[in-house]
Structure formats: C-alpha cells, structure tokens
Amino acid sequence: MDYKAPFIVCLLVFFLPVFAFSQVDKKIDSLKQIVKHVPENNKIKKAFELISLGQQYVNKSDYTSGMDCYQQSLDMAQRLNNDSLTANSYRHIALIAFSQQNYYKDSVYDAAALKIYRKINDKLNEGKVLKDIGSSYLNRGALPEAKKYYGEALFLFKQLNQQRLVAGIYAVMAVIYKNDYRKSIELELAAKKIWDKYPTDDASSLINTGNLGVAYFYMVRYDSLKSIKPDSIIPASPSKNLKIAGEYIRQAIQIAKHRNDIENEAYYTEILSELQYHNGDYKGAYDNFYFYQNVNDSIFSQQNKNKIAELESRNEIQKKNAEILNQKIRAQTQQRNMLLLLAGFLAMLIIGGLFYRLSVVRKQKNVELTKLNGQLDDANKLKAKFFAILTHDLRSPISSLVNFFQLQKRDSKLLSEEQKAEQESKITQSALSLLKVMEEILLWSKGQMENFKPNKAPIPIANLYAYLQNFFPAVSSVKFNYFANEGLSVYTDENYLKTIMQNLTQNSINAMKGTGERVISWKAWNEGNAIKLSITDNGPGMSAEQIKKFEENITIGSSKQGLGLSLVKDMAQTIGCTIALHSKEGSGTTFTLTIGS
C-alpha cells in the first residue's frame, strides 16, 4: 500500500494552518506599528487602520482583540460624526456577534449600519448589510425573513450591476430551497454562470459548484427525480443526472486543490465516494473515502492533541490552586490581626470621602447659582428693553389722538363738519387698532414674564403686512407699498418681528416730516437659505455721523421720535436677525432685515 499520499496530506493539514497563522501574526504586528505611528490629528486614517487590525485578529479567531479594535474605531467615528466610518464599524462588530451565534446583537448592529447607509444613500453597502441580515435569519431557521432580506439585497445588487454579489445571493438562496431541487439547481447554475465570467477570490464559487453536484446526486439518490418535470436543465434519465453530478463534484475538488483548500477538498471527495459507491464503482469509492478518512483523522488527531494539552494545563492549574489555597490558610492568622486596623482605616477613608463629596456638591451648587444669576440678569435687561418698546408703541397712537383733541379744543371751527367726521372715523379706527395691539402686547408680555425667550414658528409675510396696515391706518399722508411673493413665510418669533417692523416704520414716518410726497415701501424676498425684508423711505436720509452711530450701536433717536435703533438691533439679535443700513443724505434710507431659514 502506498502511504506517500496520506503522509503528504497530513503534513499539509498540520503545517498550512501554522503558516497561515504566522502570516496573520506578521500582518498584526505590521498594522499595530501603523496604528501606533498615525498622527493624532488624522483620526480617520487611524480608525480605518484599527478596522484592518481587527479583521486580522478575527482571522486568527481572537475575537476579543478584534472587538476592542472595532469599538475604538466606532468611538472615533462617532466623535468625528463620520457616518460612513460609523456604519463600517457597526458592520464589523455585527460580524463578530454573528460568528459567536449572538444573533440578537448581530441584528442590532446590522440595523444601526443599515439605517446609516440608507441615510447617506450608500446602496452598495446597504445591499451587503441586507445580505448579512438575511444570513442571520437563515442561521436562526427563519426562512421567510431570510428570503425577504436576500430579495432586497438582490434587487440592489442588480441595480448596481454588482454581478459577483448577485451570484453570492443566488448561492445562499439555493440553500434555502434545498428541498426544492429544481429551484435550488436553477439558482446555483445562475450563480455559477456569473462566477465563470467574473471569478471570485473566496471559496464561494467552489462551494456553489460542489453543492450543485450534490443537488443532482441527492435528487437521484433519494428518488425525487420522478416528481420533477424533465427539461434541458434536469434530464429524465437518472444516469445522466448522476453523470452531471460527478462532473460538478470533480470540478469542485479540482478548484479546492488549486486553492490548497484541504477541508473542502476532503469534504467533496467524500461526497464523490458516495456517488461512486451508488454507481457501483467500489474501488474508486474506497480510494476516495480512504483519502477523506486520512485527512479527517489528521484533523481529528490534532484536535485530540489540543484536548490533551488542555487537560494537562487544567491539571497544572489545579495544582497551582492547591498551593494558593495553602498559602491563604497560612495567611489567615495574619489577616485576622490586620482586620481591625483595616476597618479603622476604611472608616477614616469613608469620612474623608464624604467631606470631599460635600465640597464637590457645594462647588457645583455655587456654579449653578452663578449661572442662574447670570440668566436672571440677562432676562431683567431684556425685560427693561421690552418695556421701553412697549412705552414707545403705545405713545405714538395716543399722541396723535391727544393732538387732535387739542386742535379741536383751540378752535373747533378750523375743521368742517365733513372733515371732523372723517377725522373722527380715522381716530376711531386707530383707537380700535391700538386696543387690539395693546391686547396682543399685554398677552405677549404675560407669556414672556417667566422665561422671556423667543417662540419661533412659521409666519406668513402677508400677516406681517396686515399688522402694519392695521397699526398705521390714520397716517394718511404717507403712501405705503407692500411687495412679496405669494405664500412667502419666515420662521421666527412673530411678536418680536412685528415690534421691529413697527418701530422701523414709525422711525421712517418720523424721518420724512417735511418731505413732499412721502412713500414707504416694504419688500420681502427669498435669497439663498434666508428670508430678507427691507423698508425704504424717500426721506432726507441719514448723515454720515448717524450711520456711524448705528454701526457702533450708539442710541439714535428718543422715545418721542421713535425707538432707538440700538434697541431695535438688540431685539433683532435676540431672534437671530441682522439689520443692514443703506442711506445717503437727500436720497432716503433703507433698512434690510436678514433672517436665516
């Protein structure tokens, strides 16, 4: 008997894993040096290198070190807000959970990665995660769910023309349909056709080819051929199906030999021996089964050696434990003598810790009180400005009413009955508008007394224009124009913005005294991601000194002439609005409000 071949197989089985692990160790050492020397400011590169290092640890079955690398990468990715890197880390953590058959954690991390890939529209990686989720369900025996996720992944891979990945889906779905020989064979043939055209580096093509042969063999072996309608794929003759099975199984064995894949070579050789035995080729069946048995025995022998080594290690550990126990017994007497001293020391330590804790809490409370005092001071300043605005808003309409009554008292004959009726109508309308404005301001002030903070919401520009029209109905000497695109709205605090627009309008009215035909124009438009509103008057304009005061935030005007522009700027700053001024003496003034969307 020739023992040469079995001896070579045994050597390969023993030395190939050793060689592979030595290569992995070299890669691990190299990657550890790379990670160590990555500059601290290049966190993205360091995270990617950690993922590569983790993959090498996983290849060595050191899942603890692999998980540590992936967790470090995930932490960096989340601090960098890098979605792609975060999802990549989640995927690798999920693969470790999958390999440990912890399908719950596997599904949690895969779901997190899938959510990110959909958010950033990364279709390729979305498909890969869907495939991983399908495999998780397949291992749990949940076939309907596995089919669902494999189907979604297949749809994306076809869209992206990822042929190798499409073939991979066909191959795993063939396993789902293992009891439906026709469906299984059709999927495996489809996968083989793609891999023949686009070869892959992993063992997927090899296993798919071998499984294809197994399907043809078992279809005859278990007498399932009679229930299948014959066609070009599945012949009616059992001998033809067995011939096809032998061709695919031998092809898988040759691929395994070429790849130095001893385990798969032995597995499909054992399947081939069963096929040969079924066909009556007993010598071939014996030779192939002998090869399989030698390889299997070699692997089993190594496993036994590992178990013996484990038992020896366990015995050594037990001896060490016995020695440690004896040392503990000898030390018990000394420990009893130390207990009282240790108890006293611990009591002092606890008391010191309590005092320290009280000190820390006191400092925290002082910081919180300082912060609250600052917030209270800011709120009081804002409230003071608000009441200055309130005084101004109520002064102007009432002043007009008082002026009318004084004029009528001095000489009631200056106005005709028709003029009196017209003025009384305007004053009545102005008074009603003033009453409405007072109610709105008082309600607003009541709601703002606790926090005094803006309450932002979408506000149609048309509503702001309507408010200005109702507030200045008695100002007949000024022509008001309002321009805006239909449906335009701005996101801000309505009452703050109304107050700002109202005071800018009042300032423009006051500034145009002595001007012939007085015109005020409000415009609103969308510019980029911001809404802009502008008010333009045809008054005398502002001097260079006034413009400088505005830019330096020095108060302009008084409560009699309109709210100081510095207060208006403060109100605008509170709601995140900026005010720009454009004016020249003799050519009017324009204020432009810019509010981010």
pLDDT tens figures, 77-87: 999 899 999 99
- Burial category of 222 from C-beta neighbours within 10 Å (exposed 0-12, middle 13-18, buried 19 and up): exposed
Structure tokens at 527: 């510019």
Give residue 31's pLDDT. 85
What is the number of other CB atoms lying within 10 angstroms of the CB of residue 21?
13
Average pLDDT over residues 44-58: 87
Integer angstrom CA distances of residue 257 from 10, 102, 268, 352, 585: 15, 34, 11, 72, 94
Q: Which helix (H) or strand (E) holds 46?
A: helix 43-59
Q: What is the dihedral of CA 440, 445, 450, 456, to 10 degrees?
A: 60
Question: Chain-centre distance of CA 549, in angstroms?
Answer: 47
Give residue 209's pLDDT. 92
Q: What percent of the chain has pLDDT above 90?
A: 30
Q: What is the pLDDT of residues 508-549, one digit of tens each?
A: 888 887 777 889 999 999 988 899 999 999 888 888 888 888
Instruction: Of 544, 587, 532, 537, give the one whose Cα is nearest residue 562.
Output: 537
Handedness of CA 66, 69, 72, 73 (dihedral sign): negative
Give residue 383's pLDDT. 63
Q: How far apart are CA 582 and CA 244, in angstroms?
A: 88
* Mean pLDDT for all residues in the chain: 80
How would residue 332 be classed by pLDDT, with cut points 50, 70 and 90?
Answer: confident
Q: Please tell me what DSSP assigns to residue 414.
A: G
Q: How far apart are CA 207 and CA 255, in angstroms?
A: 10
H-assigned helices in 140-180:
143-159, 163-176
Instruction: Of 223, 208, 219, give the one whose Cα is nearest residue 268.
Output: 208
Q: How far apart are CA 479 and CA 209, in angstroms?
A: 87
Average pLDDT over residues 226-231: 89
Q: What percent of the chain has pLDDT above 70?
A: 76
Q: How far apart are CA 468 and CA 464, in angstroms?
A: 7
Q: Which helix (H) or strand (E) holds 340?
A: helix 282-410
* Cα three-residue angle 428-432-433, rounded to 5 degrees: 115
Give residue 9's pLDDT. 39
| CA-based R_g, the chain, Å | 43
Looking from the CA of 492 toward its CB, the CA atoms found within 13 Å total 29
pLDDT at 299 over 90: no
pLDDT at 346 over 80: yes
H-assigned helices in 198-261:
204-221, 238-258
Range with lowest mean pLDDT among 285-294, 436-445, 525-534: 436-445
Between 440 and 493, name the one with better pLDDT. Answer: 493
Between 18 and 203, name the one with better pLDDT. Answer: 203
What is the number of other CB atoms lying within 10 angstroms of the CB of residue 447?
12
Integer angstrom CA distances of residue 508 from 16, 479, 525, 563: 90, 12, 21, 11
How would residue 430 be classed by pLDDT, with cut points 50, 70 and 90?
Answer: low
Q: What is the pLDDT of residues 399-418, one digit of tens each?
A: 666 666 666 666 555 666 77
Contact 561, 574 (CB under 8 A): no
SS3 580: strand
What is the number of other CB atoms lying within 10 angstroms of the CB of residue 237?
11
CB contact set of 465 (below 8 Å; sequence gap of 6+): 482, 484, 522
Q: How far apart are CA 174 and CA 212, in angstroms?
A: 9
pLDDT at 594 over 50: yes
Long-range contacts from 247-255, C-beta under 8 angstroms, 24+ separation: 247/213, 248/209, 248/210, 248/212, 248/213, 248/216, 249/210, 249/213, 249/214, 249/217, 249/275, 250/213, 251/209, 251/213, 252/206, 252/207, 252/209, 252/210, 252/213, 253/210, 255/205, 255/206, 255/209
Handedness of CA 471, 476, 479, 481 (dihedral sign): positive
DSSP-based helix, strand, coil % in the chain, nearest 5: 75, 10, 20
